[in-house]
Structure 1
Amino acid sequence: MTQAPLTIQRTCHVPVPVADCFALFTRLGAQEYIHHDAVIAPIVQVDRAPGQTFTEIGDVQHITFKGGYTIREELLAFVPNRQFVYKGTGFTQPLLTWLDHAKGSFEFEKNGDGTDITWRYNFYLRGGLGAAVKRGVFNALIVNVIWNRMMTKTLSNLTQIITLRALQPGRTE
């Protein structure tokens, strides 16, 4: 029996038009904007197959964090100027090994002259002995404390980075 996912989402407003916001976002490397601190290890490397940009359905990237922890992400959907959806598997961080997989999405929506970016993450835990207890612990600790803080700070980082880069015409990075 598959359990309903544990879901968290956060939204930020970026004062940049949707097409520019989406283009700048898709050119960023995750290590540039994902928040890290004493609990969340920084990303040290993102590996993709030669020629992959993580903008084509089926593209895969392997993210390595300080300490050697990894996640494999596969792009499931890519709608220019609107959204992309990805699936994470192979989590090696402690407690995240309780996951079967996760699905994340970034959605872009026009709001006035700017863009609202919504980041949604669905955690699908493994079943089995102690599943209800693990679900409670995972929801309380990982989703409501660690992931909530990480998502909030990451979206703040994105807002700053995209806004600053939009103000620098001709910047290609």
Structure 2
Amino acid sequence: MFKLTQGWIGVLLVSLAGSVSAMESDEIQCLSASRSGLVDLPFPVDAEPLVSVTERLVIPLPVDEAYDRFKLFPLTQFMTGTEDLAGVARTHPLVGQDYLNTGERRAVCLKNGFGAVEELVDATPPGRFAYRVWAYNVPEAQGIEYADGEFLFKPVEQGTEITWNYSFSLKTDRFPGSFGAFGRWLFSKTFLESTWRGYMQLALHNFESSL
């Protein structure tokens, strides 16, 4: 009788261990949230005004090839990080698998252990690739409501011009957004035009160096 009971206990423990492992693997650790919870996370409502910055890069490739190479370039190799801002360590698909089609969503985990959620809002080859980022848990980003990134691909004489527009919507109940126009100006001067621009420039350099 004891051996039979011991056998059933063993099966039960193995089953429970499997369930715990499944729960652990379902959690996106950098966001301390489950995949299902992040899938159901509401998409941010559009808010104005935005604070924006733009960077450009010209590469010697036709626009179709430039777009195709860009969309397949791993985010971990694109956003490698700077001394001031952590790079991307890994991504986890939430909706879709390849992050190539409008509506697909993924969790982005940074090298500092924090993360955010990103959704593709437009993928129109070979002209536009745009996305929205939100649900930051990075302590320094708690004043950000969401960010919009947009890549535009235009044929030029030298090949393709890539324009990267990046805009932030700031929370109005937290600094610096709570200071209105002055807060947005301060955010632009102390972060967007310096720290974040350098992050973007390095990312574009990483892509250019891969060609």
Q: Please give the range of the TM-score, normalised by the shorter of the 2 chains.
A: 0.7 to 0.9
Unaligned runs of 5+ in 2: 1-46
2:52 alignment partner in structure 1: 7
Among all aligned residue pairs of Structure 1 and Structure 2, give the percentage whose two residues are the same amino acid.
22
Tell me which of the two structures has the higher relative contact order, counting C-alpha pairs closer than 8 angstroms and 6 or more residues apart. Answer: 1
Alpha-carbon displacement from aligned partner over 1:113-149 (angstroms, at most 9, x marks no partner) = 5111111111000112651264344222220111111
- Say whether residues 1:100 and 2:152 are aligned partners: no
1:27 alignment partner in structure 2: 72
DSSP 3-state at the match of 2:145: strand
The structure with more radius of gyration: 2
Q: TM-score with structure 1 length normalisation?
A: 0.86
1:75 alignment partner in structure 2: 120
CA RMSD in angstroms, aligned pairs only: 1.7
Work out the CA distance in 2 between the residues paired with 1:99 and 1:93.
Answer: 10
Residue 80 of structure 1, CA deviation: 0.8
For 2:196, give the aligned amino acid.
W
DSSP 3-state at the match of 1:41: coil
Work out the CA distance in 2 between the residues paired with 1:25 and 1:3.
Answer: 29
Work out the CA distance in 2 between the residues paired with 1:58 and 1:3.
Answer: 22
DSSP 3-state at the match of 1:91: coil
Unaligned runs of 5+ in 1: 164-173
Residue 34 of structure 1, CA deviation: 1.4
1:60 alignment partner in structure 2: 105
Work out the CA distance in 1 between the residues paired with 2:174 and 2:110.
Answer: 29
Work out the CA distance in 2 between the residues paired with 1:83 and 1:50.
Answer: 20
Count of aligned positions: 161
DSSP 3-state at the match of 2:139: coil
1:166 alignment partner in structure 2: none
